[in-house]
Amino acid sequence: MALSFYSAYHLTFYFFFLSISSFFLSLYFFLSLFLFLSFSLSISFFLSFYFFLSLFLFLSFSLSISFFLSFYFFLNCYNIICLLQLNSSLSGSGEEIGVVVRSCHDDLTTGQPLSPSKLPKSPLKTRTKRVRTTSSSSTSDRVVQTATRTLYTAGRPPWYDSQGQLKEAFVIGLCGGSASGKTTVARKIIEALAVPWVSVLSMDSFYKVLSYEESIKAAHNEYNFDHPDAFDFDLLYETLKRLKEGKMVDVPIYNFTTHKREIQKKTLYGANVVVFEGILAFANKKILDLLDMKVFVDTDSDERLARRLRRDITERGRDLHGILKMYSKFVKPAFDYYIAPTMSYADIIVPHGGENSVAINLIVLHVHKQLQKRGFKLRSKLALMSLSGQPMPNTLHVLEMTPQIQGLHTLIRNTSTPRNEFIFYSKRLMRMLFEFAMSLLPFKTVNIDTPQNIMYEGKRLDTKKICGVSILRAGETMESALGEVCKNVVIGKILIQTNFNTGEPELHYQRLPRDIRDCHVLLMDATVATGAAAMMAIRVLLDHDVPEENITLLSLLVAVSGVHSVAYAFPKVKIVTTAVDKEVNDQFHILPGLGNFGDRYFGTSSSAMVAA
């Protein structure tokens, strides 16, 4: 960091030196002009002195501005150089982590997407030596979201079992009167749980959009927001059901000032624990059946009124008279008729809200026991699956092993093949793989006219959209070959790495097209050993509502265990490859294999393994 400081200091000193030099040169010039005016032209001494003094003050002001600009320039240079050095140290000069750091920076500042670094067009261009590391982010926010991408700063562990089936989340329902402290209790439960993935769903997001007449009533505090009819229970049920199943949901954002839903929506992802809170959380039978634990927050009515006054005045822009009118007319009767009777459904009643640490600790202890019962170890199960002697699944499609294909495999498997030749021949094999995969997509018969005015019966791809999704980092090497086969294809990215402590794959980053559910998806990974990373990527696609039969997994080389794992979990996913090897060792390396494809392609050395 010292080098960065002195680099900025030298730049600033140079700029300030120019300012000082300009000042003294100007002073000398105007002093000479003063003497000339005074003695040569016999102008009044006081007049020339006044003229000189004005110029001197102007130069002094200019010097002050120059000093300020110099200091500002110094600070900016120093900050920029420090940020560049920090980015370099975080990325370890490795490409796959560089993508994450750059994406996080642009998301939090400009919101504009930055395209990841691309490979040089010519394989003869060399890269500097880089060392690959696993992610070790200590950021408190585990998910950074924008309109176009999602970045997992701490890594999301598997949310499904070895059969690819989703694990049901543990849903905690928090019910209580308005301003009873439900949100505070939810926050303290989350803090005490220390579980990596928790989603919080508020019932306030599911108020119905008011009609014009209802909006007028709401403006005059004549609309009952505490009645069950004020909520969209159908949308709430579908949203909570998807979250319990571990799927992604888009939650509406309700504006309490306009009484309408915002255009933007908040995206929530399936988690280990889902905390659902609302004044009528126990009022609907279907929603009540989705809750694994029901907690009622009981707070004194006077305290609830004081909290509601403070909240509605500061956060929702309402006046004191209107709040008291609504409380006496709607809020208190609704509590007596609809909320208080549901206390009988509660498993635990928490008096005094978030101040009751004993009740919160009891809730946390019970949730921890439930999570331990539902835990899964994914990768070790996949590696130990004993399917030897079983026939290959029908969804596996292997490129015919012609002498040409075998020759290309000889070159890329050879440990002594130079890096530039490894890249060149790998790309040749990738293009053949994509051509073969395209032939497996649905085609329809069409008739066209040739230049000789003769009708020709041909074939045309019977799908509107094709999308490629690469599993970073090795899968990114296949993007250029896909672009050469499919014109203007849309590319998505998923970053999956292995947790150094648990050995399990973790999802760190994803950027997928908005309309991916309508596409045929070509999922790309250079090699598939146990199938752990491929299964996680397929699960992500399914959570984004991509039909399973519309997913094709493409890889240059797969292991038998990986084929069986993916095919057993997702029987409708097509697996397309150029070769299948039989064994995987204790380090999850394919044997005989072709080594670490990403290291050989990018010219890096392995300090940690990514999920395969």
Q: Greater confidence, 23 or 132? A: 23
Give the DSSP H/E element, type plus range, for residue 538: helix 532-543
In angstroms, rounded to a whole number, what is the distance separating the alpha carbons of residues 380 and 565?
12
Contact 19, 67 (CB under 8 A): yes
CB-based burial, 257-274: b 16+ in 10 Å, e otherwise: eebebeeeeeebbbbbbb
**In a shared domain, residues 471 and 534:** yes
Coil, strand, or helix at residue 397?
strand
Domain end point (choices 91, 115, 147):
91
Reported confidence tier of residue 38, pLDDT bands at 50, 70, 90: low
> Rounded mean pLDDT of the chain?
74
Number of domains in the chain: 3
Please check whether residue 282 is in contact with residue 345, taking contact to mean a CB–CB distance below 8 angstroms: yes
Q: Which residue among 374, 398, 413 closes a domain? A: 374
Structural contact between residues 348 and 293, judged by C-beta atoms closer than 8 angstroms = yes
Q: Are residues 334 and 438 in the same domain?
A: no
The predicted pLDDT at position 181 comes to 80
pLDDT of amino acid 51:
61
222, pLDDT greater than 50: yes
Is 252 a domain residue? Answer: yes
Res 397: pLDDT = 93
For residue 434, the model assigns a pLDDT of: 92
Q: Is the confidence at residue 151, as pLDDT, over 60?
A: no
CATH number at residue 249: 3.40.50.300
Of residues 150 and 434, which shows the higher confidence score?
A: 434
Of all residues in the chain, the percent with pLDDT exceeding 70 is 65
Question: What pLDDT was estimated at residue 291?
Answer: 92
386 within domain boundaries: yes
Same domain (yes/no): 462, 384: yes
pLDDT score at 286: 92
Name the one residue in this structure whose structure tokens are 């990403």: 598
Task: Band the pLDDT of 611: cuts 50, 70, 90.
Answer: very low
In the structure, what pLDDT confidence band is assigned to residue 270 with cuts at 50, 70 and 90?
low
Question: What pLDDT, on a 0 to 100 scale, did the predictor assign at position 80?
Answer: 55
pLDDT greater than 80 at residue 312: no
Asked whether residue 364 is domain-assigned, the answer is yes
- Identify which has the larger pLDDT, 440 or 40: 440
Q: For helices 2-35 and 45-91, what crossing angle results, to 10°?
A: 170
Q: Are 274 and 244 in contact (CB under 8 A)?
A: yes
- Closest by CA to 151, choosing from 186, 116, 101, 214, is 101
347 and 226 inside one domain: yes
pLDDT of residue 301: 78
Identify which of 550, 557, 607, 552 has the alpha carbon closest to the alpha carbon of residue 577.
557
Same domain, 395 and 532: yes
Any domain includes 612: no
C-alpha gyration radius of the chain: 33
Residue 115 resides in a domain:
no
CATH number where 478 lies: 3.40.50.2020
- Write out the residue range of the structural domain in which residue 258 sits: 168-374
Same domain? 540 vs 564: yes
Residues 197 and 70 in one domain: no
**Are 358 and 387 within one domain?**
no
Quick one: average pLDDT of 334-361? Answer: 84
DSSP string, 224-267: -TTSGGGB-HHHHHHHHHHHHTT--EEEEEEETTTTEEEEEEEE
**Eight-class DSSP state of 611:** P
Choice among 64-73, 82-91, 363-372 with the minimum mean pLDDT: 82-91
In terms of average pLDDT, the best of 187-201, 273-287, 380-394 is 273-287
Q: Within a domain: residue 140?
A: no
Q: Phi and psi at residue 88, in whole multiples of 5°?
A: -65, -40
Answer yes or no: do 463 and 499 share one domain: yes
Average confidence (pLDDT) over 492-504: 76
> Are residues 560 and 505 part of one domain?
yes
Mean pLDDT, to the nearest integer, of 150-155?
Answer: 47
Among 323, 343, 374, residue at a domain's last position: 374
The answer on 453 and 347 residing in a single domain is: no
Q: Evaluate whether residue 119 is within a structural domain.
A: no
Q: Is residue 269 in a domain?
A: yes
pTM: 0.52
Residue spans of alpha helices (H) in 341-418: 357-374, 378-383, 403-413
Q: Tell whether 400 and 292 lie within a shared domain.
A: no
